[in-house]
Chain A
């Protein structure tokens, strides 16, 4: 019986054809002599077959047309986003083109539509593995970030519940604060440093859904708060949300160690009971 109990954990992978040749041979030898385990393996295979058999679907013929239409619509918008990422000379040159042509009006319309979309974190996440701070600044730029004082950032997004203190726990000092505009609603961001180490913070209205592109966000706990996290390499974009504000902190800090105190500093009035689901 003890042998069978031990076997139980490995019969699933065995029935699925997993495991090394040696492991499989050992299980095979046991299964040959044990009716109970033989029955369990058969039962597991039947369950797998049963899950597999309900697989008849027909892709709607119109689906590609829908995708193609969206691709055609999205192309100019992607060009706009790329444009917004390009700095200095290219941006200035493009501005000239915009000023000369009637293209400006078209792009403005597209920009308005882009801003009404969910907060696009994929642009930030895509750049993390190359240069996290640069990716953060590009994100700020995407949402028309203006460098301001911490007080001005706070005033700009006065409907939000957040703080931009001069110092964060752990020795991080405020480097820059920004006033952002996400759609029609003000938002804010800040950059902190500790001996060259970078931490970014973004505060936006909780009504904005968040788009992580191809990345996945996982539920997590930050101190007393329930939140969620997207991880790219060693960088973590951690979010906690109250009734009005989503507080997003980009760092390499562990949410079980330094991050809870930092979160508390940027969301000082935020109580654990206020943890909210994001749209």
Chain B
């Protein structure tokens, strides 16, 4: 009987043990259990299906190559998130996009309105892309993936005590971007529901990347 038939019923520990033996059915089962969340995170971090696919492939190849060193002190998902975030951050640093300029970005005509909409604005995805990549990752891990602060600390390898302040800073920066580049017609006083100003639909903007000189 095909061992693949049994793989979906394995516990996480059994799955890991089998993956350590190189059991292809177990590797497939691990992928089936986790790929949706890993891919979703990578799409949001890279803003590209194509690049997310490449990075997801790399994530799983690295995970299977390194699973012998996975000691199960953290959950399997946490470990995979860590590899995926690592891959995405390295990719963002490598690709070195033009520095993000919110003014230019907001002034860009919205292609979905044939360029006729004069209202300059950033949508949520643009604003997310304008954040520091690690801040963006932390917001996605918290709100999209629903991780608690302790798990975010494990994934990002940031001290537990720093997670709250990093998230505070990331949220504040995101709200600033959404507020500063909100369409004028819909503007309301900034101290009241500032997050309600952004509109979806602007063209994608490359995220800023903290320059790393090695």
Contact = CB atoms under 8 A, between A and B. Distances in A.
A210 B86 CA distance: 13
A214 B62 CA distance: 7
Interface residues of B, number: 62
Contact of A228 (B39, B83, B214): B214
A275 interface: yes
B128 to A, nearest CB: 7
B195 interface: yes
Contact of A68 (B28, B52, B69, B125): B28
A219 B210 contact: yes
Nearest to B32: A64
Contacts of B164: 9, 12-13, 18
Contacts of B79: 214
Contacts, number: 153
Nearest to B31: A64
A86 B31 CA distance: 31
A71 B35 contact: no
Contact of B143 (A42, A51, A122): A51
Interface stretch (A54-62, A96-104, A139-147): A54-62
A63 B212 contact: no
A55 B60 contact: no
A59 B39 contact: yes
Interface of B: 22, 24, 27-28, 31-32, 35-36, 39-40, 43-44, 49, 52-53, 56-57, 60-66, 69, 79, 82-83, 86, 89-90, 94, 96, 124-125, 128, 139-140, 142-144, 146, 148-149, 157, 164-165, 167-168, 171, 174-175, 192-196, 210-214
Interface of A: 9, 12-13, 16-18, 39, 42-44, 46-52, 54-55, 57, 59-60, 63-64, 66-68, 70-71, 74-75, 78, 122, 126, 209-210, 212-217, 219, 225-228, 239-241, 246, 275-279
